[in-house]
Amino acid sequence: MISHSRNATRLRASPNFVQALTLDGRAYIAKETEPYHQFWLNERYRILLALFSVRRGLTPQQAIARYYRLTQVEPSAAENRRLVKAIADMQASEVLISSHADTSRYDESMANYYLTYRPFPSALTAHMVKAAGIESHTRILDLAGGPGDLAVQLAQVSDAVELMELSQGFLAAARARADALGVKLETIHESCNRLHYHDAHYDVLTIAQAIHWLDDVLLCRGICRLLAPNGSFFVIQSIIEVDDKHPLAYLLGHNSILGAKTPQPFIEDVRPLWRRLGLLFDALDSPGVEHVDVRYAAESLSQKIVPVDIKLFTQVRPFDQGFAQGFLTPKHIQATGLEPNAFWQDLAARCADATPAQLLGTHHWAVMQFQRGGVAMDFLEIAKRQAQSIEFTLGTA
């Protein structure tokens, strides 16, 4: 039932969807973040979506009134029902969202757990600072950086750090943390799939544990456009390894209900992404294309982005209730088939009955470096390296 109150919720078109046409001209919209579902549009749905695609959104009542004015369709009870159903359908598929809603499944309520129990290892940051020669003037963009742990660490070295993130709540948490620590951090509320529309240039770009959320082709197009000569792009990947008897093995183990893992050495998890990104840069980073900044044109013509290094780390740490609260979203919990309260009560009971030693597991980390104008590294040489052991300490929100 559509509310006629002046205080009715205003809805807006979700920016997570992009509109497209099939070869035979049928219109649909596709979500560019997980899950990547599509929503087909007939003429009624297409017009309503366009009406809701205004900055502040509309109430359903306003949209229906404008629909009648635009189409000159005679108002009727039957047409009202069809319009109400169309709006409800788009809300159920998150095509329409509240004008105040966050566009990410991650919100500010998770930020403190994320920063405390999932801190980004400072040893990885130190490695990137050294490998890229980061200084106070180095221009850095951290992509899909959550509540900003890595970005804030980098901002303690450079005065020119920016964070691009889809979650408004995480951006607010990152700004608050940067302010509390007295460092400068600029934030950009945007999907990293739209990176290639961004105009700035950077000496360093980073993405940590988030590339799986994105379209890697669109991401690499953006990197090709934004990365300055001799600049570095760091991709941080990690996996969690826990014993089958670990209290949270049903979530984090090899046979996780969230998705089974293939038992293999961590380096074999890294290899496909390293190779795919290298191939994408080779294909997309063509000399002389329009993304090259005129200031760097002569130098950029002979410099392509190539894979130059991988640094491996291992970290023994607890995987407990705090980690789960900074890791699992309502979407994850929905996949378990349990109601949220029942899920968290069960998880808390599993952890409460475990000793500290039983909660330990291993976090494997890889820092992949791609560099414009670098010397490509042979993966077989990298695979022979031993991982560096690093300590775990709780973070601070």
32/181 same-domain check? no
90/219 same-domain check? no
Residue 136 clears pLDDT 80, i.e. is over it: yes
Lowest-confidence pick of 57-71, 237-251, 288-302: 288-302
381/252 same-domain check? yes
Residue 77 lies in a domain: yes
End-of-domain residue from the set 98, 123, 143: 98
Q: What is the pLDDT of residue 21?
A: 75
223/269 same-domain check? yes
Per-residue confidence at 1, pLDDT binned at 50, 70, 90? very low
89/130 same-domain check? no
211/294 same-domain check? yes
Per-residue confidence at 4, pLDDT binned at 50, 70, 90? very low
Q: What is the pLDDT of residue 35?
A: 64
Residue 287 clears pLDDT 60, i.e. is over it: no
270/334 same-domain check? yes
Compare 367 and 191 and report the one with higher pLDDT: 367
pLDDT digits (tens, 9 = 90+) for 66-106: 999 999 999 999 999 999 999 999 998 888 988 777 666 66
Residue 395 lies in a domain: no
Residue 214 lies in a domain: yes
Q: What is the pLDDT of residue 333?
A: 87
Residue 5 lies in a domain: no
Residue 61 lies in a domain: yes
Per-residue confidence at 352, pLDDT binned at 50, 70, 90? very high
92/198 same-domain check? no
3-class SS letters over the chain: CCCCCCCCCCEEECCCEEEEECCCCCEEEEECCCCCCEEEECHHHHHHHHHHCCCCCECHHHHHHHHHHHHCCCCCHHHHHHHHHHHHHHHHCCCEEECCCCCCCCCHHHHHHHHHHCCCCHHHHHHHHHHHCCCCCCEEEEECCCCCHHHHHHHCCCCEEEEEECCHHHHHHHHHHHHHHCCCCEEEECCHHHHHHCCCCEEEEEEECCHHHCCHHHHHHHHHHHEEEEEEEEEEEEEEECCCCCCCHHHHCCCCCCCCCCCCCHHHHHHHHHHHHHHHHHHHCCCCCCCCCHHHHHHHCCCCEEEEEEEEEEEEEECCHHHHHCCCCHHHHHHHCCCHHHHHHHHHHHHHCCCCHHHEEEEEEEEEEEEECCCCCCHHHHHCCCCEECCCCCCCC
Residue 396 lies in a domain: no
89/155 same-domain check? no
Per-residue confidence at 274, pLDDT binned at 50, 70, 90? very high
Lowest-confidence pick of 18-22, 93-97, 224-228, 249-253: 18-22
Residue 6 lies in a domain: no
End-of-domain residue from the set 98, 121, 137: 98
CATH number of domain containing 118:
3.40.50.150
344/231 same-domain check? yes
179/323 same-domain check? yes
Per-residue confidence at 162, pLDDT binned at 50, 70, 90? very high
End-of-domain residue from the set 98, 132, 163: 98
Residue 172 clears pLDDT 80, i.e. is over it: yes
Residue 299 clears pLDDT 60, i.e. is over it: no
Residue 2 lies in a domain: no
141/210 same-domain check? yes
Per the structure, how many domains does the chain have? 2
Domain that holds residue 112: 108-389
Per-residue confidence at 13, pLDDT binned at 50, 70, 90? confident
